[in-house]
Amino acid sequence: HDHYDHLDAPTIRALAPLDVPFYCPLGVGAHLQDWGVPAARITELDWTDEVTIGALRVVALPARHGSGRVNLPNQTLWASFALLGPVHKVYYGADSGPCDALFTEIATAHGPFDLTLLEIGAYGAQWPYIHMGPANAVRTHQLLGGGVLLPIHWGLFNLAFHAWREPVEEVLRLAGPVRIPLLLPTPGTPVDVVPEGLVTRWWETACTHVVTRALAERAPRRLHQIADLVDLGLRGLQGGALVGGIIGHILTDDFAHHFHEALDHAENSASRRVAIFIGRRVEKRT
């Protein structure tokens, strides 16, 4: 779907020159074309539509979520996907809230699955119907008849009020008693899907890993840079999705020392409120 944390313009522009097909939910193709993907290489899918790539069937399926960029909510479709090979089956849940009836129906039609990829992060009481969280991910995996569970949608953008490690630690706690094997490899490393799963606990030493270190190096160094971005978002995008991305950039500890610079730099009361919110969150982390 086309939410900013899932559809990234620079990434698509980098992939556009490659001679590969793009499969996406209805309406998302317009974004891809804007970013340089030829229309001939784009296939839009409605729920239950499917395409065949060699021996692999890709089926677009419903999800309990939404879509939207800037101030245009739900103008494009969101979806989950079943990847059905001659031997193995994978379910990619994308962004979705819990829905027992939906996932039971998917399991009946296409399961059981050897691997499920289900979101565990960015959950909270504010949006219980559009994000799963660890407990619902475990339950949904069971409904899907899943073998190995690969938790996704955590550990990158800080989009909710839970602690950064909470989703993965909670899913580990919940999966153990019900004997669900988890696949938690270090980001960027190839891994085989084995029945017993794999837990590397990479997040316990995240700053030593290349991927997370690179993200930290790209983060704004001072809070006044964040205030500038907030002002830009509030003026140009009417508050848009920048705020979520800005909060997600809190990856280093030196922000707390420059909290007041953000207040001085913010050009309007709305940006000041965001800066205060960010500052308080950083102070709790340092």
93-128 residue pLDDT tens: 999 999 999 999 999 999 999 999 999 999 998 889
Closest to 243 (Cα-Cα) out of 8, 11, 70: 70
pLDDT, residue 221, reads 45
Question: pTM of the entire structure?
Answer: 0.74
Spatial separation of the C-alpha atoms in residues 34 and 79, rounded to whole Å: 21
Spatial separation of the C-alpha atoms in residues 281 and 247, rounded to whole Å: 9
pLDDT at position 243 over 80: no
Please list the alpha-helical segments (H only) found in the chain. 9-15, 29-34, 100-110, 133-143, 166-175, 210-218, 223-236, 242-248, 259-265, 269-285
Spatial separation of the C-alpha atoms in residues 280 and 9, rounded to whole Å: 30
Q: Domains in the chain, ordered, with CATH?
A: 9-207 (3.60.15.10), 219-285 (no CATH)
34-76 residue pLDDT tens: 999 999 999 999 999 999 999 999 999 999 999 998 767 899 9
Spatial separation of the C-alpha atoms in residues 172 and 138, rounded to whole Å: 10
End-to-end CA distance of the chain: 35
Spatial separation of the C-alpha atoms in residues 31 and 45, rounded to whole Å: 15
pLDDT, residue 140, reads 98
